[in-house]
Structure 1
């Protein structure tokens, strides 16, 4: 069984799922953000391999939250925006 975590608010959510790999654990991150007109979702893998599942899921959630913060501040524009 792998570890996972999720944090959310009314218009955004961040999920992190840990997967075992040789040498440790990786983390897959999914971010979702919605506004009045549309819903946006993005998935990515964390760039590191972690020694423990706990480290992987916590850092994955942190990376997702940073991504959401930048998206909501409009410092990240995605295809079809702007």
Structure 2
């Protein structure tokens, strides 16, 4: 089974989807989006850790994505075109 999760508020969203790892466990792919007057920001990445359950993978993926959003909104990171 593949689990997914989504968190959004106002101009940002975090989407996570799990997949079974070839060597056991689960991995999470995280997609973050943030719209602002300076332009739209999108970033997709795979969480660095492997998890024993899909639930853990989704929750940690959402946390990691929200950290990215926090960094983007505080202008710690910025999108360069």
- TM-score band by shorter chain is over 0.9
What's 2:74 paired with? 73
* Moved segments of 4+, more than 3 Å: none
- 2:33 aligned with 1:11: no
Q: 3-state SS of the aligned residue for 2:55?
A: helix
1:27-66 → structure 2 map (5 Å cutoff): 27-66=28-67
More off after superposition, 31-40 vs 5-14: 31-40
List runs of 5+ in structure 2 lacking aligned partners: none
Kindly tell me the number of residue pairs found equivalent between the two proteins: 80
Distance 1:76 1:23 in 2: 33
Aligned CA RMSD, in angstroms, stands at: 1.1
Q: 3-state SS of the aligned residue for 1:50?
A: coil
In structure 2, do the counterparts of structure 1 residues 47 and 4 end up closer, same or farther at CA, with 3 Å as the change threshold?
Answer: same
How far off is 1:35 after superposition? 1.0
List runs of 5+ in structure 1 lacking aligned partners: none
TM-score with structure 2 length normalisation?
0.92
